[in-house]
Amino acid sequence: MTGSSADVEALLVDVNDLSNPTPGMLPAIFRDIVGRLDAAGLAYAVVGRIALALHEQARFVGEIEIVADLGAGGRERGAELEQATRARFSAHMDPSLCAKPILLTLRPCMCQLEAGLLAEATTRQWFGVQARLASAEHLLWLWCHTEGPDHAMNASALIMGGTVDLYYVRNLLRATNDVEESGQRRLRLAIGDAVLSATSSFSRFMAERRIRLDPNRVPIWRLRQSETANGDDG
């Protein structure tokens, strides 16, 4: 199952205040920061839930997360690009001006594997611009390798989507977990959660199907049993 930026955009609504324009500004903010990265000639990959929609069902997004090769002085350079976008969209990104601001995270690559993340990113038309989106495998690696309140849920959703190569992810985790196995443990838990979710969904489907069936309907096999029994009695 794969989604599109249009699927994400359809969910950008404040359900508690339909007149609030801030959620719907995320595509414009996305185009702005991607345009700045392209203009600077910087390699990058979009991660987080925006990239998840490429591989699985779209979900509400309130944050733009990007990993980039920012070169020497990367954090300072990233901060400058972030600040330029925030200044343009301050009404929707400044916590003092907006109750639920759109978040923007732009950080440099932290290791060699993240450089691989950039190299294997997929270019797609996303929110009206050509953008580089992280692969399913690198997304899952990130969510298993780092801490985050939504990481387990996102990892489980990605696995349920069926588009991720779990063996490749395991190799990525092995390359970055020489000392401790927290990433491997998170991957196993995410796989378990995905299996349980799929089983639960199937059980709900079967329960709903049974409710829809006519309670007075007699299966053919049972009718034949009755006919056979009646024939023996005769």
The model's pLDDT over 153-207, given as tens digits with 9 standing for 90+, comes to 888 888 877 788 888 887 887 777 644 556 656 666 666 666 555 555 545 545 5
| Residue 213, pLDDT above cutoff 80 | no
193: number of CA atoms within 13 Å, CB side?
Answer: 16
Q: What is the DSSP letter of 4?
A: -
Q: How far apart are CA 6 and CA 128, in angstroms?
A: 10
As a whole number of Å, the CA-based R_g of the chain is: 24
| Residue 226, pLDDT above cutoff 80 | no
| Residue 75, pLDDT above cutoff 80 | no
Higher pLDDT, 226 or 221: 226
Question: Most confidently modeled of 9-18, 160-169, 208-217?
Answer: 9-18
Q: Please give the average per-residue pLDDT across 1-5, as a whole number.
A: 75
| Residue 35, pLDDT above cutoff 90 | yes
Q: How far apart are CA 207 and CA 223, in angstroms?
A: 24
Q: Please give the average per-residue pLDDT across 59-74, as a whole number.
A: 89
Q: What is the pLDDT of residue 202?
A: 45
Q: How far apart are CA 49 and CA 161, in angstroms?
A: 14
Least confidently predicted of 2-16, 97-111, 162-176:
162-176
Least confidently predicted of 59-73, 118-132, 177-191, 193-207:
193-207
| Residue 128, pLDDT above cutoff 60 | yes
Q: What is the DSSP letter of 194?
A: H
Sign of CA dihedral 38, 89, 49, 109: positive
Q: What is the pLDDT of residue 81?
A: 95
Whole-prediction pTM: 0.76
Q: What is the pLDDT of residue 179?
A: 46
Least confidently predicted of 4-13, 88-97, 148-157, 211-220:
211-220
Cβ atoms of 85 and 190 within 8 Å: the answer is no
Please name every residue paired with 67 in a beta bridge, in sequence order, or none if there are none.
45, 107
Find the angle CA(40)-CA(89)-CA(98) to the nearest 5 degrees.
145
Cβ atoms of 133 and 45 within 8 Å: the answer is yes
Q: How far is CA 177 from the centre of its chain?
A: 23
Cβ atoms of 63 and 151 within 8 Å: the answer is no
170: number of CA atoms within 13 Å, CB side?
Answer: 5
Q: What is the pLDDT of residue 146?
A: 77
